[in-house]
Chain A
Amino acid sequence: EPEVTQTPSHQVTQMGQEVILRCVPISNHLYFYWYRQILGQKVEFLVSFYNNEISEKSEIFDDQFSVERPDGSNFTLKIRSTKLEDSAMYFCASSISNQPQHFGDGTRLSIL
């Protein structure tokens, strides 16, 4: 069964540094999402992306965050200047229209 692939599985970064989290969605999916889960808390929506543009973003997704689909397969989340509170599990998901979203295994981001 096709899978959403996320790399790296664990990223450790110094506060203030830029970090890029990478995702390869399922190949025929058209809608892409990033979610965040701070340890022990619920999963929170960050941003959705369709037709090469952001379709919706949450209050969490401020100017420090950006997303990009640089080629036909990758979907990236960039955090420009990381803060301690950005430490979390980041999940990428993809879907076809109203079909359920398929999640990747997540990237655990640790900010030191």
Chain B
Amino acid sequence: AQTVTQSQPEMSVQEAETVTLSCTYDTSESDYYLFWYKQPPSRQMILVIRQEAYKQQNATENRFSVNFQKAAKSFSLKISDSQLGDAAMYFCAYRSAFTGGTSYGKLTFGQGTILTVHP
């Protein structure tokens, strides 16, 4: 079974600064997807960024980028030019790329990291 670990329960950053949230995972699969989801106080789950394991290039979405280290099974999220609206709980999640079997489609989440942005 796959596991996802976020070792930072809380992080804080000054507005306009950069912060990196850590995530590690464990899997025996070679092809999979990794995601970062944002959960603001309203408790919606909002997709921030996605990475396919077969792609070596790190995904980027505007101010959000990842550092994907497949061999180390590490998937960190970097938020540049932090804004007050970035304050939220951030979840790292794993999903198998394979269809069928016993694990198709489901997301396995980490414990989450609460990000505070100071003005």
Contact = CB atoms under 8 A, between A and B. Distances in A.
B42 interface: yes
* Majority DSSP secondary structure for residues of B touching A: loop
Contacts of B104: 48, 55-56
Given A98-B97, A100-B50, A105 B44 contact: yes
B17 to A, nearest CB: 27
B95 to A, nearest CB: 8
Interface in B47-61: 47, 50
A42 B106 contact: no
Contacts of B35: 100
Given A91-B45, A100-B35, A100-B50, A56 B110 contact: no
B105 A48 contact: yes
A5 B107 CA distance: 19
Interface of A: 31, 33, 35, 37, 41-45, 48, 50, 55-56, 58, 89, 91, 93, 95, 97-98, 100-103, 105-106, 108
30 contacts: A31-B105, A33-B106, A33-B107, A35-B107, A41-B111, A42-B91, A42-B109, A42-B112, A43-B45, A43-B91, A43-B93, A44-B109, A45-B108, A50-B105, A55-B105, A56-B104, A56-B106, A58-B106, A89-B43, A93-B45, A93-B107, A95-B105, A97-B99, A100-B33, A100-B35, A100-B47, A101-B107, A105-B42, A106-B43, A106-B44
Interface of B: 33, 35, 37, 42-47, 50, 91, 93, 97, 99, 102-112
